[in-house]
Structure 1
């Protein structure tokens, strides 16, 4: 049942960010349970374990504006940075740890994650990945399905813009988002199909639960999914962002697109209906990032992802004004011009290589206040 929270306004936004734990030398720290035990109560309320022992998730409260949500995320990062330093550890954010290998992976001891290990077998020990999840409150389940259907068409552009994981297993993958194919080793991932009604969506999920495939709906890891108990649409396709200002830009775009698709429905039917085109565009976005040339079935040619982004941003401005996220939406130009995968490759090309990259990721996790204010 769709739960509408009476104290939340429509289009309220919340952020979930997956974070990696590191030893001081940048190697993975498989100590998430140790960290969770020492967190102060206020921070522990917003921090959860993940499948792999070097990962934690920071989750903001729901907020009316993107500015409020990213301000809290900044505070959560600062609190976590202080807490892990007390254990001699560090934290960082990117779509992948550049050097972790699957054979070194340790699955978290929590019941959920041990269930995953027993269910997915060695798939649960794939290389860890780190994503950005954005929740947007939608006041009505049928509007939520309408927004869900429309957002599917925009998944490739969101992924192209957010690509921030070129390295995996100590090598350049050649992809802008190596996280995407690595995570897709799990079942129930990717761009899901359309649904005509909320009851049709609910039945598709419920049959998996009734048949014992999954214990509850959060074991579905689609790029976009509904969260009925929260009354939100959750967009999950994006790599975690190293810089909070890039997170803010992406969250603003998602918030605007959800509102557009719920109220105005701008997605072209040729994109939202053609699953083979969506899947190919998703691959191209993961491979080439914002430089991707995406299939346009209406014109029988390919078009730049950057051009699609410009069209989306133009459509978003009236909604950004209504939502109070104009400033954050304006940051998309900076992200598109300086994408995460390019920055990572530039740093790794310097003398210190991947070790220097991991140290740079650590340094950007929670920089001193003057730098933070300039970047935000």
Structure 2
């Protein structure tokens, strides 16, 4: 095992095998009587503490959230199986408490004022620091870790993946409703994330030594203490030896989380193989615009290709990208996931649009959340 260490500031990046995978999924805890969020995270953690996945089930910032973490995988099929097993265990445990779990990037009608901060030291500190933003952060995301051999590769991938952040937003957008209204966004969750300092993208550092120097300066000034203080869409995780993609909403179904992960793995394989050129100045000039367009309009968004300085429909661009990545999916064993992705892109269908259709049929928030609960359960045989 090797580390890349700068002579300026010793901040080692742990070596990991390229293209290895890990996934974190944040899920809603839901009452059965009114389908509002249930502040039962501690009860669920207590119940699962002696179970087989106790180290992989953790709290989040408020008590109506729970996070499941996969172990490290090389293949998408073994990751999919583990996520299903942990998901089934969590749903069965929640059943015994009389509550449900659901996916989606934001609960459709909960009120952030009613949320309770989880009683952990870091969460109390965040609440003291960020005020009401901490409770508003009761939104739900999928984080994907992908292994890197060294810090320089991680920095390269973080900048390259910035081009594809809009695609990841669109593929996972599942939060059109927030606080009891249709926001008009495919991913309203993104607006809550954007309120935090250091949201957006990593600075234009060229390599790991440049990042170490940046972190050293920010730490010396008392602005940050750990990597967790950066809320970037894509950030390095040196203690794991990974790049962490944090832009995605939690999908409604475990299978959708798996297909997004397969897409990212193939994308990174292509980036490491082809090493396409990247102009960081051009990328970050249009970064915020593209990010907004994807979150607002989903598959109908028009974005700017920073490499060619031209506008394009994101659905069309996604179709072209899936074709380019298909050979990598075949090598990585994820053709089934790519077939599912291609079908969704061809139909311009997203979780956000499905949620809108279900609500339009019932005009009932409780029925909508009940449907979200069922979408998660349906694949888990519970």
Q: TM-score, normalised by structure 1?
A: 0.92
The aligned runs of 1:173-192 (5 Å cut-off) are 173-192=183-202
Task: Let me know the Cα RMSD of the aligned residues.
Answer: 1.9
State the match for 1:214 in structure 2. Answer: 224
CA distance in 1, matches of 2:21, 2:250: 17
1:34 and 2:60 correspond: no
Change (3 A) 1:298 1:144: closer
Q: After the TM superposition, which segments of 4 or more aligned residues of structure 1 sit over 6 Å from their partners? A: none
1:321 and 2:330 correspond: yes
SS at 1:331 equivalent: helix
Counterpart contact for 2:87–2:380, Cα < 8 Å = no
State the match for 2:8 in structure 1. Answer: none
Counterpart contact for 2:170–2:295, Cα < 8 Å = yes
State the match for 2:15 in structure 1. Answer: 4
Deviations 1:204-262 (A, max 9, x none): 23333333323311221210011111111111101110112211211011111222223
Change (3 A) 1:80 1:121: same
1:95 and 2:105 correspond: yes
Deviations 1:58-117 (A, max 9, x none): 110011111111211111111001111111111101000001122112111111100101
More displaced stretch, 293-302 vs 326-335: 293-302
Counterpart contact for 2:299–2:314, Cα < 8 Å = yes
Which of 121, 145, 148 aligns to 1:138? It is: 148
CA distance in 1, matches of 2:281, 2:111: 36
Counterpart contact for 1:19–1:130, Cα < 8 Å = yes
Count of aligned pairs: 367
CA distance in 2, matches of 1:286, 1:58: 25
Q: Which runs of 5+ in 2 are unaligned?
A: 1-11
Counterpart contact for 1:191–1:279, Cα < 8 Å = no
CA distance in 2, matches of 1:252, 1:87: 34
CA distance in 1, matches of 2:317, 2:221: 40
The aligned runs of 1:1-376 (5 Å cut-off) are 1-5=12-16, 9-25=17-33, 26-39=35-48, 40-126=50-136, 128-266=138-276, 269=279, 273-296=282-305, 301-336=310-345, 337=347, 338-367=349-378
Counterpart contact for 1:53–1:107, Cα < 8 Å = yes
Deviations 1:332-374 (A, max 9, x none): 123323210000001111225221110011112222656x9xx
Change (3 A) 1:297 1:134: closer
CA distance in 2, matches of 1:218, 1:298: 31
Change (3 A) 1:47 1:206: farther
Q: TM-score, normalised by structure 2?
A: 0.91
SS at 1:45 equivalent: helix
Change (3 A) 1:228 1:363: same
Deviation of the 1:139 alpha carbon: 1.5
